[in-house]
Structure 1
Amino acid sequence: MRVDARGLTFEVHAGGPADGEPVLLLHGFPQHSGEWDEVTPALHAAGLRTYALDQRGYSPDARPAEVEAYRIPELVADAAAVLDALGVDAAHVVGHDWGAIVAWGLAAAHPHRVRTLTAVSVPHPAAMAHALATDTEQKARSSYIALFRKPGKAEKVLLAFRAVALRRLLGGIGDAARVARYADPMRAPGALTAALNWYRAMSGKDLAAVGPVSVPTTYVWSDRDTAVGRVAARACAAHVTGDYRPVTLAGVSHWIPDEAPGPLAEAILARTATAR
């Protein structure tokens, strides 16, 4: 469906029983709502109604040009506004990668809108800040961000030779067809720039503004994640004041929804069950 919110039009993929408890699914970079396709069948079978959102910059008609339009408060406001447009007062919220940052922000700023939170791969922003300040390994893991923040250069590097670098970045996600599923949309005019603008708009001030989370929370991390290390993962618990469950998936890369949809669905269902 197409949902109008905040002067933009977002694409939202709905599924499951119409009367099921709502679940808002937030994707990461450089993917789209399709990353949830192998997770949602288990959620639907359990009676949940899912709404997988193509977020700002990924929905073609929600692609502002200004970098400032991609600040974290704007992304969080989008999620809340989409829930409003769907007529959903409160939802179980699941986010992967950048979608996790949006989910953390939504749960911190609007806890009444979030029944439960399942954050995947990326921990609470304060936990990442702690790791970046104390762990040289995390600094190395996050070094790619410096390139992503360079307008023009990042696009040139990632899209050169039919996006070979972008495809390599997605290499652990699965076979060539799965890689192409995410890489090809990024080759559309303006698409990659909009996605990279999330990194370019990111600031320490906005990350620090994400406060403690009081809602029931599960954090799913995988021990072969090249972007997020163990120090950041372990620091996450300190920023959740509600019921907290860490889940570690062994032998799984950063691309958890694609690589381990079954275990992820189990973690989501275990968390949502605590609020029923």
Structure 2
Amino acid sequence: MDSFRRDGLTFDVLDAGPSHGEPVVLLHGFPQDSAAWRRVAPALHQHGLRTLAPDQRGYSPMARPRGRSYYRLRETTADVLALLDAAGLAKAHVVGHDWGGLVGWALGAWHPDRVTTLTVLSVPHPAAMAKAMVSSDQALRSFYIALFQVPLVPERLLLAGDGAALRRLLRRGGLPEDVVDHYVARMREPGALSAALGWYRALPWSGRDPVGRVRVPTLHVWSTDDAFLGRAGVEAADQFVEAPYRLEVLEGVPHWIPELAPERVADLVTAHVRAT
């Protein structure tokens, strides 16, 4: 399959690997798309796993509804359930990075019957994140979230001069130039950046639906050079998992784990899948 539909929206998806392999759903974050997994997915295929990597809500050109409430967590998790239904899958292993990781936490708490295992890269459980915001430097690391709430201003700042500011941000994070070019080009598509920022702007709606405790085997991967997410939230995440949980720390890797440590990610995901 190369697409699926939900509520009149059409989502692009990369479905690859052995058709009868264990299914693994790969969920990207901001400002990525399914290309974030382009070096992870082939390694998973070599281990006999099938991957489904959607361009999520706001990132697929035909799935960019206007209005912040359309990007609340209940909607973004329902999109993944629609993907599973369209693929004829009762459940799948879920791997998420950044915002995709937050969707993964929610799926593991709200829909454990649809998730075989959960692997979250970078972002802590939202309840652990909330604790870290008042007990560590996490609020300083997350200053940009407040800026992203302002209408129009972030779009103008990030996309001015052919996306120069966004380009600098991604380069400083260590992303290769071709990856930076791809992400900036996607965010310059009509309405793309505003739609992607909708995930942040929907936080007041998402906060009305507490994620709760996760009830599936969970692997949490965090990297020490992540400028956006500190250790405090990560180390508190296990308090919100009522299933086998393991934290894996990658030394010296920045925030962009799928792009910068793909072989390690593939090995960890494969081992987690096989252990279950």
**TM-score scaled to structure 2, two decimals?**
0.97
Contact 1:127 1:232 in 2 (8 A): yes
1:111: Cα distance to partner? Answer: 0.1
CA drift at 1:66: 1.3
- Displacement of 1:7 in angstroms is 2.1
Tell me the SS of whatever aligns to 1:250: strand
State how far apart, in whole Å, the 1-side matches of 2:134 and 2:55 are: 32
Aligned partner of 1:8 in structure 2 is 9
Q: Is this contact kept in 1: 2:72–2:206, CA < 8 A? A: no
In structure 2, C-alpha distance between the alignment counterparts of 1:138 and 1:207, rounded to whole Å? 21
Equivalent-residue separation in structure 1 for 2:54 and 2:14 (angstroms): 6
Structure 2 partner of 1:121:
122
| Residues 154-203 of structure 1 deviation map (CA, whole Å, 9 limit, x = unaligned) | 10111111111111221124232221111111011100000001000112
Structure 1 residue 274: Cα displacement? 1.7
Q: What amino acid is the match of 1:65?
A: R
Separation in 2, partners of 1:179, 1:47: 30
The residue aligned with 2:56 is 55
Residues 125 and 208, structure 1, Cα contact 8 Å, conserved in 2: no
Give the corresponding residue for 2:161: 161
The 5-angstrom pairing of residues 13-162 of structure 1 reads 13-135=14-136, 137-162=137-162
RMSD of Structure 2 on Structure 1 (CA): 1.1
**Counterparts of 2:205 and 2:212, CA distance in 1:** 13
Q: Distance in 1 between matches of 2:25 and 2:177?
A: 28
Deviation at 1:6, TM superposition (A): 2.7
CA deviation after TM superposition for structure 1 residue 208, in Å? 5.7
Q: Is the 8 A contact 1:97 1:121 kept in 2?
A: yes
Note the C-alpha offset of 1:205.
Answer: 5.7
SS at match of 2:145: helix
Query: Taking structure 1 as reference, are residues 120 and 228 closer, same or farther at Cα in structure 2, changes over 3 Å only?
Result: same
Name the stretch that deviates more: 7-16 or 200-209: 200-209
Which amino acid in 2 is paired with 1:63? Answer: R
| Cα deviations by residue, 1:192-229 (Å, 9 ceiling, x for unpaired) | 00000100011276376101001000000000000100
Is 190-199 or 260-269 further displaced after alignment?
260-269
Among all aligned residue pairs of Structure 1 and Structure 2, give the percentage whose two residues are the same amino acid: 52
Q: CA separation in 2, counterparts of 1:112 and 1:206? A: 23
Q: After the TM superposition, which of the residue ranges 26-35 and 144-153 deviates more from structure 2?
A: 144-153
- The answer (yes or no) to whether the contact 1:6–1:81 under 8 Å persists in 2 is no
CA contact (8 A) 2:69 2:205 kept: no
Does structure 2 conserve the Cα–Cα contact (< 8 Å) formed by 1:90 and 1:114?
yes
1:224–1:254 CA contact under 8 A, matched in 2: yes
Contact 1:118 1:217 in 2 (8 A): yes
Give the distance between the partners of 1:237 and 1:47, measured in 2 at CA: 30
Count of residue pairs the alignment pairs up:
274
SS at match of 1:213: coil
Contact 1:22 1:91 (C-alpha < 8 Å) held by counterparts: yes
2:260 counterpart residue number = 259
Alignment gaps of 5+ in structure 2: none
**Secondary structure of the corresponding residue to residue 118 of structure 1:** strand
**Aligned with 1:252: secondary structure?**
strand
TM-aligned CA deviation for residue 254 of structure 1: 0.2
Shift of 1:5: 2.1
Q: Is the 8 A contact 2:72 2:205 kept in 1?
A: no
Paired residues for 1:194-233 under 5 Å: 194-203=195-204, 206=207, 209-233=210-234
What CA distance in whole angstroms lies between the structure 2 residues aligned with 1:115 and 1:183?
A: 34
Cα distance in 2 for residues equivalent to 1:150 and 1:269: 40
Relative to the length of structure 1, the TM-score reads: 0.97
**CA contact under 8 A between 1:222 and 1:256: conserved in structure 2?**
yes
